[in-house]
Amino acid sequence: MTQKLPWRIVAEWITEGEACIRSVEKIYAAGATRFQEYLIGELAGIGKSLVLDGKVQSSLFDEHWYHEALVHPVMLAHTCPKEVLIIGGGEGATAREVLKHKCVERVTMVDIDAELIELAKKYLPEWHQGAFDSEKLELVFADGRKFLSETDRKFDVVILDLVDPMEGGPAALLYTLEFYKLVANVLKSGGVIVTQASSPILTPRVYATIRNTIASVFKITRPYITYVRSYNGIWGFVAASDTVDPARLSSEEVDELIKNRINGSLRFYDGATHQWMFTLPKPIRNMLESYKDIATDSNPVYVPV
Amino acid sequence: MTQKLPWRIVAEWITEGEACIRSVEKIYAAGATRFQEYLIGELAGIGKSLVLDGKVQSSLFDEHWYHEALVHPVMLAHTCPKEVLIIGGGEGATAREVLKHKCVERVTMVDIDAELIELAKKYLPEWHQGAFDSEKLELVFADGRKFLSETDRKFDVVILDLVDPMEGGPAALLYTLEFYKLVANVLKSGGVIVTQASSPILTPRVYATIRNTIASVFKITRPYITYVRSYNGIWGFVAASDTVDPARLSSEEVDELIKNRINGSLRFYDGATHQWMFTLPKPIRNMLESYKDIATDSNPVYVPV
Amino acid sequence: MTQKLPWRIVAEWITEGEACIRSVEKIYAAGATRFQEYLIGELAGIGKSLVLDGKVQSSLFDEHWYHEALVHPVMLAHTCPKEVLIIGGGEGATAREVLKHKCVERVTMVDIDAELIELAKKYLPEWHQGAFDSEKLELVFADGRKFLSETDRKFDVVILDLVDPMEGGPAALLYTLEFYKLVANVLKSGGVIVTQASSPILTPRVYATIRNTIASVFKITRPYITYVRSYNGIWGFVAASDTVDPARLSSEEVDELIKNRINGSLRFYDGATHQWMFTLPKPIRNMLESYKDIATDSNPVYVPV
Amino acid sequence: MTQKLPWRIVAEWITEGEACIRSVEKIYAAGATRFQEYLIGELAGIGKSLVLDGKVQSSLFDEHWYHEALVHPVMLAHTCPKEVLIIGGGEGATAREVLKHKCVERVTMVDIDAELIELAKKYLPEWHQGAFDSEKLELVFADGRKFLSETDRKFDVVILDLVDPMEGGPAALLYTLEFYKLVANVLKSGGVIVTQASSPILTPRVYATIRNTIASVFKITRPYITYVRSYNGIWGFVAASDTVDPARLSSEEVDELIKNRINGSLRFYDGATHQWMFTLPKPIRNMLESYKDIATDSNPVYVPV
């Protein structure tokens, strides 16, 4: 076990006393925006990465595992999404995946951190792949919650691509009952939403509480999971709707929908991957049943570190 | 992000420049056997754990994810396994799971490290849960490969619960063509084998090569995966047989078989979990197709660290 | 910069966000006494070491730098110390150095942690070198402060070989005005005391406050320093007396006294070393002048971590 | 022991398996010049720092301990140095200290890394304090050894402010017999030289070999030491001359010379500090006696990591 020794290191603390450390082979940019500290660099194991406040947001190694898992199930479950709202999504990769859908006429991306998006445009071309230049993309620099409460527009799909809920963090109140009611408000009939939802293994209470909270607003709620090495484990999502059930798509239907409704190719998502994501192993099903709380503005849920 | 600072730490190096570090809250035993260095202690995040040569072997957090995933698919795919051979499996948890099967008449466990098994008996009761005292268990302290080449017994199921193949390590030549031919030799007609097979994400070449090597010996070969937090990611297995296909069991069949053929309860494995494990996401399927090599005694495959 | 990667690590946190990490090559003993957590092992760079509550107490690499620096200046400054009191000193190395002095008739060692001394007897023979078996040594298991307040004996030299003052730690109130008055009380006329006093570089306020506190009890107070790699920097002591000034010994006098009054040989301390220790570089002199506080039971001083 | 957890870390490997890690609170600049990787940032414990190839070069916490220790003993030992040569010294702090001497007419600074000096000018104003703008300073971007072999100028004092000798590093052959002969060649009669010389504690063989090598070229050779927290320990220098002995200056002479010959004030160096630096503790004296080798171009000495 002999290796080159790392000297620049990013340590990602997972739980109390547990961290993943990665050598930083090269730094492209490092500093702080008004909202968060950032580092864009080459990290051992996962390659070029965006790190915000000590958390890897995505890496070239597997940003497609995350972004395709987030975007495509709800987009294909909808009959034909024309108006899509993304809250967060600074790297531009969520918009990139949404724009692959032929139905899409307009993508509205609301991100609070304009400086970060400038950095993404400059340093993360492998992520956005030109999405920021699309005529269909409308970029709004605003607090997502404020946008929801003020807009009178409606959307077919709402994608919540946020940082985890951390005490004092920019997404602290973007996982509460009051927030999801605002989301429901801007949804057209037949609409679907999805949110990243932290890790069912590392922060099970957070994941279950997000699921419970969403389930108290929408008629159909589907937790699903993938694995993201850059996030150090299994990662969870929650999709929801009053009318549409993404879990009911068969493997064959997904493959057919991809063929018909998506331009370009996918690297992660297909029919079998869809089945894999919506099938939860027994311990995660049991865990979800064991938590009953919901998150509200006055009693929100936070990841522990 | 304020926490108690760790002072005793186990660092598990995953790839060049990438490690998972865990605070050691308590040390039960630490030292070296003739074959390996060990530490048994309470690790942050994953609880009581056995660490060998710097690699977490299993923890109370999710040893059942690993051991149930290893044992039950092949045991239930077989019509009724009476004679079972385990190579490795020092903690006694693999034997524990095998002994839950009503069909089983004799379990032969061959482990090279008698000192380690004494430690397991003393310090890991949550793992073996008395399995070492079972009258059906026969414990053999021997090199697994030597045992295979000398025995004239035959088995219904062979379970390879080994450390990863590391240059100079005790399992360096327990993943080669020559080794799997020895395994095939001791298999009864209708028999099935399974091996842990490293991580398809962290060491894809190793995983794919093990799959390829086994596929050159057996008619039916099924790679499958689970997630093991204690191993820092998705973990891979390969099941194989000349007659039996574990992948063909439906969710309902698995649930029925568990009810009929297993004493006691399972915490991880059931029908849905089975589907989850045998459904591989697209990037892993693509990865498996991209590697063609097989491992031989003269050209073995090793994990990089 | 390629090296063998460490997997068992001791991290010693020096200040907020700053730590020294050392690979643990071998563990001799690890656990907890009633008073503290311990690890005795081989540490990279400094060899066999005793670590208590995450702090290296001493190592074979340079325990003689520390123990000779602590013991000999005050012992030789005294005209002929017969009765010596050590408070703390669990490893037995302070007693070992004291017993080298021909004048000594009785050494009373008061340590709160009997279990730790059993461990030292068993695992640290290179430290005590038989000192625990000396007929001149009297071992008392007691709280040092309680001992001082109850004893009616008097001593020529008192040596305070304590862990740093930490909030809630066993030596939290062994660096205060009230404590040093108790020490002064048990001192014979012509007596001298010395205490380890933390690092003037890493915890300057603590070092200066200990110096100030002692200076408010004794007429002559001499701060002096050495370097201890195992403590990650320059280390400080304070010697004090009403009549004797250890700083006034010339290099030649020290060498002569060593020849006449010490059995066996010294590895660290001699006349030139004495000059080196009692000469403080300008920044440390300036630092000492800048702090005016003293520590009392109601307003004690603590190291920050 | 609860602290804010570091996420950006600089790890400085001291010896095999031993490192000092420091949280990077802020990054001012990070990248690579033609010759080395650099990071300029705020490091826990030592503040604003320059790190090259994983080694802290100097920090605001104690760059004056290092630079004053390097410069002033030889400058004051000389009768009145007019022409001074610095090889290395990229931060500009060595030039800053030299320029304080009233005798100095011209300082020639030869550094191989022009990009690094641009970074120093921009990001390290606390170090150079305008030295780069001095009319007395002549900046030459060249390999130091090449400069020495080609110049026909002579100097009163030569100051070698180099990175440690590392295999393949920029200073690999700037500590050999052949190199010191080149240095001797450019020295005026009455001249003095000094070099930083690694740590007598962490790399004793390197320190002793540099001392031995210089002693084989000059008639008077004086090893001396200080402590530099940013370098994780005691740090060594070697001064040499054919006529002048810096060790012979008394404390009073040093204080007098400072008053008469230096503009501005010093923060580290004075008469007592001089005595402290030139008095070596017994283990370092013994260590120096135990090594006999000298370094040559064909048999150079390197720090181990």
Q: Mean pLDDT of all residues in chain A?
A: 96
Q: Which residues of C touch B9 (CB under 8 A)?
A: 8-11, 21
Q: What DSSP string describes C154-167?
A: -EEEEEEE-----T
- Cα separation of B195 and B172, whole Å? 14
For residues D197 and B147, what is the distance between their CA atoms, to the nearest angstrom? Answer: 59
* Residue D1 pLDDT class (50, 70, 90 cuts): very low
Q: What is the mean pLDDT of residues C40-56?
A: 96
In the block, residue with structure tokens 């010693």: C12
Q: What is the pLDDT of residues C24-34, one digit of tens each?
A: 999 999 999 99
The predicted pLDDT at position C305 comes to: 67
C-alpha atoms less than 13 angstroms from C-alpha of C18 in its C-beta half-sphere:
18
CATH 2.30.140.10 residue spans of chain A = 9-58
- Domain(s) labelled CATH 3.40.50.150 in chain A stretch across 63-290
Which partners does chain A have (≥3 C-beta pairs < 8 Å)? B, C, D
* Spatial CA neighbour of D120 closest among D131, D128, D130: D128
What pLDDT score does B305 carry? 67
Helix (H) or strand (E) holding B289: helix B282-290
Q: Which residue has the tokens 């921009």?
A: D122
- DSSP H or E segment with residue D191: strand D187-196
- Mean pLDDT over the full length of chain D: 96
| Cβ–Cβ gap A51/D7 under 8 Å | yes
Q: Are C98 and C104 spatial neighbours (Cβ–Cβ below 8 Å)?
A: yes
Paired residues of B56 in beta bridges: B51
Whole-angstrom Cα distance, residue B93 to residue B136?
Answer: 15
| pLDDT > 90 fraction of chain B, expressed in percent and rounded | 94
Q: What Å distances lie between residue C109 and B149, C59, C123, C239, D65, CA to CA? A: 63, 21, 19, 19, 39
Percent of chain A beyond pLDDT 70? Answer: 98
pLDDT band at B170 (very low <50, low <70, confident <90, very high): confident
Is the CB of A17 less than 8 angstroms away from the CB of B1? no
Dihedral angle of Cα C291, C296, C298, C303, to the nearest 10 degrees: 60
Q: Does residue D2 have a pLDDT over 70?
A: no
Q: Which residues have a Cβ under 8 Å from the Cβ of C186 and sit 6 or more positions away?
A: C85, C148, C151, C153, C154, C155, C158
Tell me if A240 sits within 8 A of A175, measured CB to CB: no
Q: How many residues does chain B have?
A: 305
Give D1's contacts in chain B (Cβ within 8 Å). Answer: 4-5, 7
Chain C residues inside the 8 Å CB shell of D22: 17-18
Query: What is the Cα–Cα distance from A58 to A63, expressed in whole angstroms?
Result: 5
C-beta atoms of C3 and D17 within 8 A: yes
User: What average pLDDT does this structure show over B47-53?
Assistant: 96
Structural tokens at position A268: 């992660």
In the predicted model, is pLDDT for residue A1 greater than 50?
Answer: no
Size of interface A-D (CB pairs under 8 A): 56
**Residue A67 among known ligand-binding residues:** yes
Is A111 part of any known ligand binding site? yes
Q: Within chain A, how many helices (H) and strands (E) appear?
A: 10, 13
Instruction: Identify the helix (H) or strand (E) that includes residue A31.
Output: strand A18-32
Give the closest of D1, D15, D44 to C17, CB-based: D44
| Cα separation values, A69 from A235, A269, A283, B229, C161, Å | 10, 7, 21, 20, 60
Tokens of C204: 């300057």
Return the CATH class of domain A9-58.
Answer: mainly beta
Burial of A121 (0-12, 13-18, 19+ CB in 10 A): middle
Contact C3 D23 (CB under 8 A): no
Give the span between the Cα atoms of C124 and B205, in whole angstroms: 47
Size of interface C-D (CB pairs under 8 A): 141
Average pLDDT over residues B160-171: 91
Q: What's residue A3's pLDDT?
A: 60
Of D16, D45, D272, the CB nearest to C44: D16
Chain A residues touching residue C5 (CB < 8 angstroms) = 1-3, 5
Structure tokens at D114: 């022009």
Q: Are B109 and B86 in contact (CB under 8 A)?
A: yes
The predicted pLDDT at position B16 comes to 87
Average pLDDT, chain B: 96
Average pLDDT of the segment spanning C267-272: 98
What's the DSSP call for residue D105?
-
Please give, rounded to a whole number of angstroms, the shortest distance from the CA of B105 to a CA of chain D.
50
* CA end-to-end distance (rounded Å), chain C: 31
CB neighbour list of residue C256: distance below 8 Å, 6 or more residues apart: none
User: Which residue type sits at D296?
Assistant: T
List, by residue number, the catalytic residues of C. Answer: 161
Does the model's ipTM exceed the 0.90 cut? yes
The H or E element containing residue D155 is strand D155-161
CA distance D98 to B22: 49
Cα–Cα distance between B233 and B214 in angstroms, integer?
Answer: 23
C210-257 pLDDT per residue, tens: 999 999 999 999 999 999 999 999 999 999 999 999 999 999 999 999
- Are D7 and A31 in contact (CB < 8 Å)? no
* Active-site position among A62, A113, A156, A161: A161
The 8-class DSSP code of residue C224 comes to E
> Of D54, D229, D272, which is closest to C282 when you measure between CB atoms?
D272
In 10 A of CB D133, how many CB atoms?
10
Residue D9 and residue D20 in contact, taking contact as beta carbons nearer than 8 Å: no
pLDDT of residue D4 exceeding 80, the answer is: no
Going by the DSSP 8-state scheme, the letter that residue B16 receives in this structure is T
Residue labelled with tokens 């919650």: A145
* CB–CB contact B281 A272 (8 Å): yes
Contacts of A16 in chain D (CB under 8 A): none
Kindly report the nearest CA distance between residue A4 and chain C, in angstroms. 4
Residue C304 confidence (pLDDT)? 82
Q: What is the mean pLDDT of residues D45-66?
A: 96
D263-275 mean pLDDT: 97
Chain B interface disruption, residue of C25, C27, C167, most B CBs within 10 A = C27
pLDDT of residue A247: 96
Please, what is the average pLDDT of chain C? 96
**Whether the predicted pLDDT of C7 surpasses 70:** yes
The closest CB to that of A282, out of B4, B233, B273, belongs to B273
Tokens of D51: 């790190």
Q: What is the pLDDT of residue C169?
A: 84
**For residue range B63-100, what is the model confidence (pLDDT) as tens digits?**
999 999 999 999 999 999 999 999 999 999 999 999 99
In this structure, the strands spanning D220-228 and D233-241 are antiparallel
The two three-digit tokens of residue B169, written as one number? 């390590």
Q: Which pLDDT band holds residue A305 (cuts at 50, 70, 90)?
A: low
Q: Please list every residue in chain C whose beta carbon sits closer than 8 Å to the beta carbon of residue A3.
A: 2-3, 5
User: What is the tens place of the pLDDT at every residue in B180-217?
Assistant: 999 999 999 999 999 999 999 999 999 999 999 999 99
pLDDT at B263 over 90: yes
Question: Any binding-site annotation on A3?
Answer: no
Residue D219 has pLDDT above 90, yes or no: yes
pLDDT of A5 above 90 = no
The packing angle between helices C177-185 and C204-215, to 10°, is 40
Nearest by CB to B17, from A6, A268, A276: name it. A6
Residue C138 corresponds to which tokens in the numbers above?
């009297």
For chain A, what percentages of helix, strand and coil (3-state, to nearest 5) are there?
35, 35, 35
CB contact under 8 A, B1 and D5: yes
pLDDT at D191 over 90: yes
Q: Please list the residue range(s) of chain C that carry CATH number 2.30.140.10.
A: 9-57
> For chain D, how big is the Rg over CA atoms in Å?
18
* pLDDT, average across residues A110-139: 97
Q: At the topology level of CATH, where does D63-290 sit?
A: Rossmann fold (3.40.50)
Residue-wise pLDDT tens digits, D71-130: 999 999 999 999 999 999 999 999 999 999 999 999 999 999 999 999 999 999 999 999
Determine the Cα–Cα distance for residues A45 and A10; give it in Å rounded to an integer. 12
Whether C1 has a pLDDT exceeding 50, the answer reads no
Paired tokens of C106: 């009785």
Residues with Cβ < 8 Å from C277, sequence gap 6 or more? Answer: C69, C73, C224, C225, C226, D281
Shortest CA gap A54–chain D (Å):
5
Nearest CB among D16, D45, D273 relative to C18 is that of D45
Q: Report helix, strand or coil for B287.
A: helix
**In this predicted structure, what is the pLDDT of residue D3?**
60
Pairwise CB contact (< 8 Å): D9 & A30: no
* Distance from the D19 Cα atom to the nearest Cα atom in chain B, whole angstroms: 14
Chain C nearest-CA distance from B232, in A, is: 15
H or E stretch covering B283: helix B282-290
User: Using CA atoms, how far apart are residues A227 and A69, in angstroms rounded to an integer?
Assistant: 10
Flag the least confident range among C125-134, D7-16, D217-226. D7-16
Inter-chain contact B27–C7, Cβ cutoff 8 Å? Answer: no
Interface of A with C (CB under 8 A): 1-5, 7
Inter-chain contact B3–D5, Cβ cutoff 8 Å?
A: yes
Confidence of residue B3 (pLDDT cuts 50, 70, 90): low
Give the residue among A179, A188, A102 at the shortest CA–CA distance from A153.
Answer: A188
The structure tokens 């790699």 sit at C229
Is B9-57 in CATH node 2.30.140.10?
A: yes
pLDDT at D5: 78
Tens of pLDDT, residues C133-184: 999 999 999 999 999 999 999 999 999 999 999 888 888 899 999 999 999 9
Tokens (6 digits) for A80:
């034909």
Which DSSP helix (H) or strand (E) runs through A76?
helix A63-77
